[in-house]
Amino acid sequence: MSHARSLQLSSNWFWKQRVPARDSVFDELSPIEDWKAAQAYPSEIHVELLKSGLIPDPYLGFNEHKVQWIGKAEWLYKCSFDFAAERNETHALLEFLGLDTVCDVYLNGEKILAADNMFQTHTVPLALSALKPQNTLLLHFKSALLLAKELEAEMGVVRAGSTNLGDPSRVYVRKAQYDWRWDWGPELMTCGPYRPITLKTFSTRVEEVQTHALLSEDNVPSLKVDVTLAGALDSALGASLRVVLSNADKTVLKSQDMPVNGLANTSVVSWDLAGRVEPWWPVGYGAQHLYTVAVLLLDKDGQTLDDVTTRVGFRRVALVQEPLAEPDQYGTGTSFLFEVNGVRMFMGGSNWVPADNFLTTIAPERYRAWLTLLRDGNQNMVRLWGGGVYEPDVFYDTCDELGILVWQDFQFACGVYPAHDSFVASVRKEAEDNVKRLRHHPALALFCGNNEDYQMVLQWGDVKDFPAIKIYEEVLPEVVGALTGPQPVPYHRGSPYGGKGWDTADPTVGDVHQWNIWGGKEYPYQDYAKLGGRFVSEFGIPSHPELKTIEYWMDGAGPEERHAQSALMAQHCRAGSFERRFAILMNEGFRVTEDLATYVYNTQLMQSEAVSFAYQVWRRKWGGRGKEYTAGVLVWQLNDCWPVTSWAIADYFLRPKPVYFTIARQLATYSVGIMRTVLKNRANDRPPQYYEYGNFQSYGATLEIWGTNAGLTPRAAQLELHFVDLKSRWTHTEMHVVTLLPNQATELLAIPCPGPPPEAAAAPPTGDAHFTTTHSVVVGARLLDVESGAVLARFADWPQPFRALEPALLHDPGLALAVDADTGAVSVSATRPVKGLVLSAVGDGADVRWSDNALDVMPGDPQTVVAGGLAGREIAVAFLGNEKAHAT
């Protein structure tokens, strides 16, 4: 027998635009001068056109509109390769890991595949006689855009999102839905062989390996391995299988040989591994122990014919939906929480969209950089949203290594999808391909049927037929259950989903998407405290990226475009009704400005304050066993697919916005929170988001202070409260000994907010004897280690709205920075409170990697951050009252 061979077709690729006037694609093969050598592999046609200088960069200026013709054209790729059969080879196949999207494939003039699903793996068996010494593979990509419109004309127009979520015909084609445009991304209808193509030849090979890395209720590990062979059974006579388990150091922990009994799926080993392996844990709860399972097919002489290697981690994960012990503000209902290895964990994380509209440009290092950024921001879960793609293996491998749990949507988003027989069959194969590919990853915590399809149907109210229920409630759970046992990956039929009659907004059941702050009802962001749910899997507030990113897309545009309401700024902001929605939130919180730098800073501070507030008040509702009222918060969104103003917490170039850092502090092992409730002097006074600046007639304020502890043991601490009046020199400090209960939030204190005596305060004119002076008091809280005094957590609560703070109170806070050139450590201190201090590097150079940023600085509480890559540059500062960055 011969060893199974794999030849990745990674060279000799050429491409050209199809000439519609030519009757046959084979007429396109000559003249050779018509073809251009591909400059990338795998390949997408936009990338080839861009690298060849034939189109402008669609990420710059208004260029997106200049490349729309590409998605309506047809494109050809061809590849030549040599082949020589080896003795005893009996079988061959071509494996296509991803064709985008509508593609006819020809080998040596014979059509071997008609593909129409971007998400499927296509395996095409070949007769050895079909392979010649010199071979030509021809790929004919047709327009997915035009096909979608043809199918829509045939089957009918359906509802699918809104005007900024692509053309509704997209639901008929199994192509990444964001390619049609989304409310954060451009319309770029790609095509091409976007994932590898491999020729495999063999006599007998290992076709499939399924590993079951199990963990019992008592956390005892075991391993089962199922193997399917393919090829000629007679050539496997005398062959054997060897299964080898190794650790990360390549030390063999266990090995076993067994004879080959046939080609059918066979459970070949079942090992008890007590004492031999350690469990895999999410980040923050333990180490990410990973092991390698190698399956080798050996001939009768012990020579390797084929081998497959899989990396596993031993863990068990459960989605727990059980009645809660006591009601909260919404009622009782049920939990929606993740339990890993028997430990219930609060999920703090982000939603993920594809990191580029051109998937082939995302190098493995870029995936790792994004996910490391998430992990370093104290996040432990990423949700792969249903309008993108099933990401390549490197994404999930990296999550395994970093301890990031994965919520994986199937690829359906915001639409009424069809369920005719051919569509359902295509989706079933798509699901099987991807479940098989992903099921061994210990990071995989959930498969979810769709994004917002149930919610959209309820929201529209006029959809009479919702055929895709068959997919979400029959096909997908069948596939997940059948392919991921005996400890199946949990399945959730949609996000959001819960409540009676699919009440996707029910805060007592399932998960919710909370968009009533930015969109929907457009409530003030302080209402996040009222608008939670058992698991908030989407919410967010957008902001502009930093000026460096804006300058990139400006592409040398003149000063007339450098204001927040310019056409070019709008070209790079796709959020629906963003003009009025930004205006509402910005005008509520900040003074109106026409200066772009100031406006950009204010949007970032608004996003930072709103989103971190949501994390703070929702994590407070992680109340211990039976009181897991909110068990997870996933912000929309982690990343961008192009340079844009969006909800992302870090922009396209991986430049974190201020919100990234404030979320990180809310999700740290220990955090402290403050809720200020103003006592109004009349029932119809201004709403609570205006704190005490509504009419300066409040009668005081109460403070509720709580702490959170993600650890699994209690933590004693000192709670230090520091009160500083912005309008006078009055200060006050008090200390309290507290205990943070394990794996939950703990209510620590409820007190009246102190303020300066009336004679010491710069009181507004009033004749009310009950007037309080707390309207200008900043409250700082720190949790300190009892023995060392080290700061475990800090938070500062400021009077709001910020627009009511007189600039003179903020302009000169006595800010001081000291930089250690050797370590990059930056010490920051101030003599007066500082809000939203953003540090940046002056001048050109690589982006600085800040260990922390967007700081609230209190007097007497210096903070130190590390500036990686500062390289001797000066540091610029911006903060509330000095919003334009300037060197210190």
Tell me the two tokens of residue 750: 């409820």
Q: In a 10 Å sphere around its CB, with 0-12 CB exposed, 13-18 middle and 19+ buried, how is residue 202 labelled?
A: buried
Host H or E run for residue 716: strand 715-725
- Sequence-distant (6+) residues with CB within 8 A of 759 are none
Secondary structure of residue 133 in the 3-state scheme: coil
Backbone angles phi, psi at 671, to 5 degrees: -145, 160
Closest CA to 412 of 390, 392, 381: 390
Q: Which of 137, 114, 127 is nearest to 43 (CA)?
A: 137
- Distance between CA atoms of residues 163 and 840, nearest Å: 37
Q: Do the beta carbons of residue 413 and residue 384 sit within 8 Å?
A: no
Instruction: Please state, in angstroms and rounded to a whole number, the distance separating the CA atoms of residues 26 and 536.
Output: 53
Q: Nearest to residue 42, comparing CAs of 198, 174, 188, 199?
A: 198
Centroid of chain to Cα 877? 29
Question: CB-based contacts of 551: which residues, under 8 Å, 6+ apart?
Answer: none
- Determine the Cα–Cα distance for residues 793 and 808; give it in Å rounded to an integer: 29
Residue at 6: amino acid letter? S
44 is catalytic: no
- Distance between first and last Cα of the chain: 73
Cβ 601 vs Cβ 883: under 8 Å = yes
| Spatial separation of the C-alpha atoms in residues 311 and 435, rounded to whole Å | 16
What amino acid occupies position 674? I
Amino acid at 560: E
**Which amino acid is residue 45, in one-letter code?**
I
Instruction: Calculate ∠ Cα 461-463-469, nearest 5°.
Output: 115
Closest CA to 706 of 663, 668, 659, 744: 744
Which position among 452, 546, 628, 720 bears the catalytic label? Answer: 452
Determine contact, residues 718/786, Cβ cutoff 8 Å.
Answer: yes
Q: What does the angle CA 530 – CA 534 – CA 540 come to, to the nearest 5 degrees?
A: 60
What's the rounded Cα separation, in Å, for the pair 315 and 302?
A: 34
Rounded distance, CA 821 to CA 818, Å?
9
Strand order across the 700-709 sheet:
670-679, 700-709, 744-752
C-alpha–C-alpha distance, residues 386 and 411, integer Å: 4
Contact in structure between 742 and 709 (CB atoms under 8 Å): yes
Catalytic residues: 452
